[in-house]
Amino acid sequence: MLWVDKYRPKTLDKVIVHQDVAQNLRKLVSEGDCPHFLFYGPSGSGKKTLIMALLRQIFGPSADKVKVENKIWKVDAGTRTIDVELTTLSSTHHVELNPSDAGFQDRYVVQEIIKEMAKNRPIDTKGKKGFKVLVLNEVDKLSREAQHSLRRTMEKYSASCRLILCSNSSSKVTEAVRSRCLNVRINAPMEEEIVSVLEFIAIKEGLQFPQGFAARIVEKSNRNLRRAVLTFESCRVQQYPFTNNQTIPPMDWEQYVSEIASDIMKEQSPKRLFEVRGKLYELLTNCIPPEIILKRLLFELLKKLDSELKHEVSNWAAHYEHRMRLGQKAIFHLEAFVAKFMSIYKSFLISTFG
Amino acid sequence: MDMEFPDAAELEWLEANASYPDEEEDDLEFDDDFLQQPPSPSGSEQITSQPDPKPTLSLPPKPSLPKPQLPINSRKRFLPDDPESLSDDRNAVVITEEKRSRVEDNDEDWLRYSPPKQPEEEEPMVVEQELEEEPEEKILAKYALEIDGDCTPVTGLDGERVYAKICRVEDERVKKLEVKGYSTGLIQEPVRVLMQRVERDQFTKALEASSEDLSEANVPIGAVVTEQLWVDKYAPSSFTELLSDEQTNRQVLMWLKQWDSCVFGVEIKSTTDDVLSSLKRHSLAVQHPRRSSKSSFGNSREPRIDNEKAHNDLHPENSDSDRIKDLWDKKHRKGGPPEQKILLLCGPPGLGKTTLAHVAAQHCGYRVVEINASDDRSSASIEAKIHDVVQMNSVNADSKPKCLVIDEIDGALNDGKGAVEVILKLVSAERKLRAGKENEPEGGNAGKKSSKKRHHKTSLLRPVICICNDLYAPALRPLRQVARVHIFVQPTVSRVVNRLKYICNRERVKTSSIALTALAEYTDCDIRSCLNTLQFLNKKKETLNVLELSSQVVGRKDATRSAFDIWKEILQKRKVKQTKKSFNCFSSVSNDFETLHSLISHRGDYDLIFDGIHENILQLHYTDPVMQKTVQCSDILGCSDIFHQYTMRTQHLSLQVYQSPLAMSIHGLVAQIGKPIIEWPKSFQRYRTMSIEKKEILHSWKNKIPPSISRHLSTKSFVEDLISPFLHILSPSTLKPVALHLLSEKEKAGLAQLVNTMVSYATTYKNIKSDPSLVMHHGASDVSMLALDPPIGEFINFKGYDSCHIVLASAVKVFLVHEAEKQKILQGSSNLHSPPTGAERQDVLRCENSSTMSKASVSSDKTIHFRDPSRQKHYDLPSTSSQNRRSAGGTTASGKVGLPERKKKPFADSRSFFDRFRKPSDKTPQDNDHAKLKQKLEERDSRPLLFKFNEGYTNAVKRPVRIREFLK
């Protein structure tokens, strides 16, 4: 078991980062009032951990006993029936699923599951907590239709089920859905918080952990807690007693992106663009989301760029990312950004150096 | 969406035009001139060539030309600029009709029947549908003298001509038919004539019924009565008349000829001497079995009835000719049917594909059986039909062998596939058969017979010609691989124009060659539409007008071109257009615009088109100093993508119309004159399939990981955060490949941790064949090596990137696999047997194994919990693991070893557990039995038994036993 999982806080009390959020959640649960939630924040900030801890707070330890189910939903959509296959994770009290896996049929899934949950509503002997919780992951990838269908069901079945939505950005969740939820923003943890987490792990593992090294790991981790802990563990595996200037293994894809960036800086021509295209395809093939590639690429380019160009390049990056999200073929837009950058950079070079 | 792109294109265009402002002015002048004097030199040439100068255009002719350069220029405009065709055209214009056709004949003298005969023959054949008579045959050949009587020329593939003897068949035959007709009551006239008559009657009736004023209608009726469609009327009936590209024609014919040995049993392709001598021998020696296939394919109507009878009689007795045939067959078995048994002709409509197929097949002596789009195309019916044609020999000996022509095979997608499938089945069966036959010993006659029988079942015995418009239609993909493909190109304009002129002369239509050239160009050399237009205009009593051509051509053909053509059009600038530009800049640009627009929107598959542009655009050579054009192009591509996505999402499919301007603006930006190398857009598809594959791997991996861990991870975070460090963690540099008991306490702890991680993340090492593509970054060159089981390593294995991951030694891997396997089983068994009392269970296990661990170590803390069993295993398993390493069995072996061992323990355990309950009840009777079995048996036999059954009490047998028996 990796340290990420091993030292993941199981209850709201044990949470190290986002203690304020945990505090509030605990209060909410203790008062017996539980609204719909929308957790949003960057990846590796602890959304899932908080959600799990919250579930445990509501239902007790039985919420941890989960089983995986691969279920085929038969949905009656007007004239025909659609078979939608989806993996769900469920305990007696809650169901967790990733509706965006169902592609464009996600709305049927959401409706169907909520209806089913409403049908066999758990009745507690003490007459309390008569609701189940539906955890929907990656809501920002949910289609617009599904979100629209969600808002009605959220109201209709609110007596029998609560929704916990989890997404990276709230902007992709429609206004209507957002207003029906308690929005909980989970920030990326501060660097000091990450350091404290790492130190906590080091103590538990009985490791000597020099301060400077911790700072370096945190800096590399991009304020992503998961990544920080994983990096920490891989460093531990690579070399133990830690030294302050120990090499921290980089993320391979990031390394690759920085190679692409240096390729771009070296030469600006359609031919080079063609080579870059091949590399971008490599990254995309390995399931790395295009938005992240673009972001990382911009980051790498900005590192090497003259300061007067930085603003313009960032502006264009935003422009192309916007278009990428509107469109479908990410490669077109990634490439367009690279071409634009090449053009800007080249004309800049010509104007300054003649 | 910003609309800067069309603007940019416009700017570009303006730029281009601004550079030659004076030229443009010149052009305009020039144009005016031209308008005033339309009959340019070719018109005047016509005047010289023909006795009566007819004004062909609507405007008055001016024979005197003020500018000497003008004619050349204008001429160039209408004719393709290669000098050959030009001179060709001139020739053709100057000489008279008959001569012209002779010129054409000379071009194709290798296949010529008898040059001087041709023109005479043409008329009766076309107009009256009469059969040709051979008036001057005897005069011709060197070897003809050796044959007495009439003969027919037969030209071999290599141009050598031989003469086969014929008798005066024609008259006899006609007579015979008539006699037959009278006697048997069958029709005396050909069906075709009858049909025509019926049609004519119906038509006149209809006309009479519909038209009120008969006086006016009378004239057209007269015309109509004799007239059929020009397209049919002037359809080429012999090979030499074909308009299509000679190269293709010849190849098609060659292909058909290759079938001769198979179909007719005659080897044609061999050297001329061979053929000639054998033929001579044949014709001299064997006079009467004249159905020697030579003649039968040369001229259609020859085989006489008596000959047929003779043949039929001879056939069972293995006649001379048959023997010869067999002999030849044996000799040239290899040179049987051609390698590719199917011919696939493709090209845009109206170029004469169907005509070529028909004419060539007829030329080679086949009867054409056509399956058309309009016919039933379901798989079953088409199969029956093809089998009919391809495998049956005609019973009716009179008829020629059949040749199957499947027209428009790409037409209907789902149904059309039927035909393709059937053909493919035939071909593949044939392949198999041939492979099998090669193993067979070369048999004599008998062998041949048997193989023939089998042929009847499966193989293709007759040529099959498929015709399609789009070679790259998805349905044709499999066929393309097995078939011989000929792509039709447009015939040269001059050829088409010559032909048109010839027809016009025949029909006494006044035209000029300028107009005809324009017409031919306008219709992309589609002679069918040219003829239809001409006929239509003729009916309307109008003359062809160059300027109003677009309104005059009735049906502009709605041609969909293949994707390749479209990419080429987009990425390549046309040369011809440039010369036109000097003429009339504005109109040519708009023309260009229009053609491109119609081209793209006819195709419609915008997604594919833009993919193709994207794939190829960076390979073009356009001048682009600061990459502005590239930026614009990629912006346009992005725009089209967004557009596409939007229309798909909102289902406003009508908006797709606006995609083609986007493609055109790319054309404006990057189109070059140089020919681009265009590739099919594969990389995007490859990326798509690969990423789906990888996603699948991730999903299955995620499903294998226990839910308590996997619930926290999304597939995105797997690749983004997890995999790289995970690989580092899985391959610690400190792990040494030594025996377990040599490790220090700390190292053992590390190992246990590693194994634990591997198990909880459901990873293991697996044997894979050392496929070079799969070797990944490991670099090890073992014959069979261990790789991570969900192939996680692939996710960081980018092309041209070296990751710095440490690779474990394979011995360590084997060991790890083993340990992980054990750990898994342990977990499984503890979960299975007693989920609530897991701690107790472990306790029991440990006691049984007499491990060194104290019982007190059991606690709910997982870390200790997991470490303990693994450590305990280390103690009791060094022997097996070393064994394993020696055998190098990998996963499976270690699994097997590990499995029974673990399985045994719970079993033994459970037995003892059970025994605890069983003991008190079982002990006494058991002892009794064992001790005094024999005695009891004896005693029992001697005494009377007493059975008493008490329900619910006990199942033991009761009987009285004395105390002393116990005391013994």
3-class SS letters over B373-406: CCCCCCHHHHHHHHHHHHHCCCCCCCCCCEEEEE
Phi/psi at B785 (5° precision): -125, 165
Contact between B783 and B770 under an 8 Å Cβ cutoff? The reply is yes
Q: Between the CA of residue A81 and those of A75, A112, A142, what are the distances in Å?
A: 5, 13, 21
Confirm whether pTM is higher than 0.80.
Answer: no
Closest CA of chain A from B72, distance in Å: 42
Mean pLDDT calculated for residue range B744-758: 81
Please check whether residue B284 lies inside any domain of the structure: no
Cross-strand bridge partners of residue B466: B344, B406
Nearest residue, CB atoms, A249 vs list B624, B631, B725: B725
**pLDDT tens digits, A285-300:** 888 889 999 999 999 9
Contact state of A333 with B723 under an 8 Å Cβ cutoff: no
The pLDDT confidence band at residue B67, using thresholds 50, 70 and 90, is very low
Which of A222-236, B514-528, B859-873 comes out lowest in average pLDDT? Answer: B859-873
Looking at residue B672, its pLDDT comes to: 79
Nearest C-alpha in A relative to B806: A238
Contact between B893 and B884 under an 8 Å Cβ cutoff? The reply is yes
The pLDDT confidence band at residue B373, using thresholds 50, 70 and 90, is low
Say how far residue B335 (Cα) sits from the centre of its chain.
27
CA–CA gap between residue B242 and residue B499 (Å, rounded):
10
Q: Between the CA of residue A307 and those of A296, A302, A313, A350, B791, what are the distances in Å?
A: 18, 8, 10, 17, 42
**Among the listed residues B693, B548, B672, the one whose alpha carbon sits nearest the alpha carbon of residue B616:** B672
**Among the listed residues A326, A37, A325, the one whose alpha carbon sits nearest the alpha carbon of residue A177:** A37
Looking at residue B185, its pLDDT comes to: 54
Which of B136-145, B191-200, B492-501, B791-800 comes out lowest in average pLDDT? Answer: B136-145
- Residue among A70, A224, A332 with most chain B CBs within 10 A, to mutate: A332
Please check whether residue B639 lies inside any domain of the structure: no
Nearest C-alpha in A relative to B628: A343
Residues B254, B206: one domain?
no
Q: Between the CA of residue A178 and those of A32, A168, A183, what are the distances in Å?
A: 22, 13, 7
Residues whose CB is less than 8 angstroms from the CB of residue A134 and which lie 6 or more positions away in sequence, other chains included: A94, A95, A96, A97, A113, A114, A117, A161, A162, A163, A164
Contact state of A287 with B715 under an 8 Å Cβ cutoff: yes
Looking at residue A344, its pLDDT comes to: 92
Token pair in block for residue B920: 């008190």
Mean pLDDT calculated for residue range B374-379: 63
Contact between A113 and A95 under an 8 Å Cβ cutoff? The reply is yes
Contact state of A68 with B642 under an 8 Å Cβ cutoff: no
Q: Between the CA of residue B604 and those of B597, B615, B636, B654, what are the distances in Å?
A: 11, 18, 18, 11
CA–CA gap between residue B944 and residue B959 (Å, rounded):
9
Mean pLDDT calculated for residue range A140-150: 83
CA–CA gap between residue A256 and residue B799 (Å, rounded):
9
Nearest residue, CB atoms, B645 vs list A4, A231, A328: A328
CA–CA gap between residue B220 and residue A329 (Å, rounded):
61
In chain B, the percentage of residues whose pLDDT exceeds 70 is 44
Please check whether residue B559 lies inside any domain of the structure: no
Residues of B in contact with A66 (CB under 8 A): 707-708, 711
**pLDDT tens digits, B121-146:** 444 444 444 444 444 444 445 555 55
Please check whether residue B332 lies inside any domain of the structure: no
CA–CA gap between residue B717 and residue A5 (Å, rounded):
14
CA–CA gap between residue B180 and residue B193 (Å, rounded):
18
Q: Which one of B872, B889, B909 terminates a domain? A: B909
Q: Is B157 left (phi over 0), alpha (psi -120 to 50) or beta?
A: alpha
Q: Is B799 left (phi over 0), alpha (psi -120 to 50) or beta?
A: beta
Q: What is the dihedral of CA B31, B36, B41, B47, to 10 degrees?
A: 160
Contact between A35 and A155 under an 8 Å Cβ cutoff? The reply is no
Chain A segment 46-65 residues within 8 A of B by beta carbon are 48-49, 52, 64
Residues whose CB is less than 8 angstroms from the CB of residue B300 and which lie 6 or more positions away in sequence, other chains included: B362, B365, B400
Closest CA of chain B from A52, distance in Å: 9
The pLDDT confidence band at residue B308, using thresholds 50, 70 and 90, is very low
The pLDDT confidence band at residue B867, using thresholds 50, 70 and 90, is very low
Closest CA of chain A from B721, distance in Å: 6
CATH code of the domain in which B363 resides = 3.40.50.300
- What do you get for the CA distance between the two ends of chain A, in Å? 58
Closest CA of chain B from A113, distance in Å: 18
Contact between A96 and A103 under an 8 Å Cβ cutoff? The reply is no
Say how far residue B674 (Cα) sits from the centre of its chain.
29
Q: Is B948 exposed, middle or buried (0-12, 13-18, 19+ CB in 10 A)?
A: exposed
**pLDDT tens digits, B157-197:** 666 666 666 655 444 444 444 444 444 556 666 777 888 88
Residues of A in contact with B800 (CB under 8 A): 259, 279
Residues of A in contact with B609 (CB under 8 A): none
Contact between B304 and B173 under an 8 Å Cβ cutoff? The reply is yes
Nearest C-alpha in B relative to A270: B618
Residues whose CB is less than 8 angstroms from the CB of residue B579 and which lie 6 or more positions away in sequence, other chains included: B76, B77, B81
How many folded domains does chain B comprise?
3
Q: How many CA atoms lie within 13 A of A8 on its CB side?
A: 24
Looking at residue A219, its pLDDT comes to: 86
Q: Which one of B857, B878, B909 terminates a domain? A: B909
Same topology between domain A3-185 and domain A252-353: no
Contact between B711 and A67 under an 8 Å Cβ cutoff? The reply is no
CA–CA gap between residue B273 and residue B279 (Å, rounded):
9
Residue A3 has pLDDT above 90, yes or no: no
Mean pLDDT calculated for residue range A117-128: 62
Looking at domain A252-353, which of 3.40.50.300, 1.10.150.120, 1.20.272.10, 3.30.56.10 is its CATH number?
Answer: 1.20.272.10
Q: Count chain A–chain B contacts defined by CB atoms under 8 A.
A: 207
More confident: B41 or A168: A168
Mean pLDDT calculated for residue range B406-414: 65
Chain A segment 286-345 residues within 8 A of B by beta carbon are 286-289, 292, 320, 323, 326-329, 331-333, 335-336, 339-340, 342-343
Nearest residue, CB atoms, B757 vs list A2, A66, A281: A2
Provide ipTM, 2 decimals.
0.88
Domain-wise residue ranges, chain A: 3-185, 191-238, 252-353
Residue A197 has pLDDT above 60, yes or no: yes
Average pLDDT, chain B: 63
State the pairing for strand pair B342-346/B484-487. Answer: parallel
Looking at residue B84, its pLDDT comes to: 46
Contact state of A288 with B719 under an 8 Å Cβ cutoff: yes
CA–CA gap between residue B404 and residue B372 (Å, rounded):
11
Residue B248 has pLDDT above 60, yes or no: yes
**pLDDT tens digits, B931-954:** 556 666 666 566 655 555 555 655
CA–CA gap between residue A210 and residue B434 (Å, rounded):
77
Contact state of B626 with A326 under an 8 Å Cβ cutoff: no
- What do you get for the CA distance between the two ends of chain B, in Å? 110
Chain A segment 4-23 residues within 8 A of B by beta carbon are 4-6, 8
Nearest C-alpha in A relative to B686: A285
Residues B251, B206: one domain?
no
Contact state of A252 with B801 under an 8 Å Cβ cutoff: yes
**Among the listed residues B152, B149, B133, the one whose alpha carbon sits nearest the alpha carbon of residue B141:** B152
CA–CA gap between residue B787 and residue A266 (Å, rounded):
36
Chain A segment 155-214 residues within 8 A of B by beta carbon are none
Please check whether residue B786 lies inside any domain of the structure: yes
Phi/psi at A96 (5° precision): -120, 135
CB of A123 less than 8 A from some CB of B: no
More confident: B40 or A116: A116
Contact state of A137 with B795 under an 8 Å Cβ cutoff: no
Residues B341, B477: one domain?
yes
Phi/psi at B303 (5° precision): -50, 120
Residues B250, B222: one domain?
no
The pLDDT confidence band at residue B68, using thresholds 50, 70 and 90, is very low
Closest CA of chain B from A118, distance in Å: 23
Closest CA of chain A from B687, distance in Å: 5
Contact between A8 and A153 under an 8 Å Cβ cutoff? The reply is no
Residue B439 has pLDDT above 90, yes or no: no
Residues B223, B360: one domain?
no
The pLDDT confidence band at residue B790, using thresholds 50, 70 and 90, is confident
The pLDDT confidence band at residue B254, using thresholds 50, 70 and 90, is confident
More confident: A185 or B149: A185
Architecture of domain A3-185 in CATH? Answer: 3-Layer(aba) Sandwich (3.40)
Nearest residue, CB atoms, A333 vs list B638, B714, B720: B638
Mean pLDDT calculated for residue range B225-240: 70
H-assigned helices in A206-241: 211-221, 225-238
Please check whether residue B857 lies inside any domain of the structure: yes
Looking at residue B182, its pLDDT comes to: 47
**Among the listed residues A120, A182, A118, A180, the one whose alpha carbon sits nearest the alpha carbon of residue A147:** A180
Contact state of A292 with B715 under an 8 Å Cβ cutoff: no
SS3 readout for B625-649: CCCHHHHHHHHHHHHHHHHHHHHHH
Please check whether residue B881 lies inside any domain of the structure: yes
Closest CA of chain A from B649, distance in Å: 10
Domain that includes residue B766, residue range: 715-909
Residue A236 has pLDDT above 80, yes or no: yes
Mean pLDDT calculated for residue range B903-914: 42
Nearest C-alpha in B relative to A97: B711
Sheet holding B402-406, edge to edge: B367-371, B402-406, B464-468, B342-346, B484-487
Looking at residue A319, its pLDDT comes to: 94
Is A167 in a helix, a strand, or coil? strand
Please check whether residue B658 lies inside any domain of the structure: no
Contact between B801 and A256 under an 8 Å Cβ cutoff? The reply is yes
Looking at residue A213, its pLDDT comes to: 86
Closest CA of chain A from B937, distance in Å: 60
Residue B864 has pLDDT above 50, yes or no: no
Closest CA of chain B from A5, distance in Å: 7
Contact state of A287 with B794 under an 8 Å Cβ cutoff: no
Nearest C-alpha in A relative to B796: A252
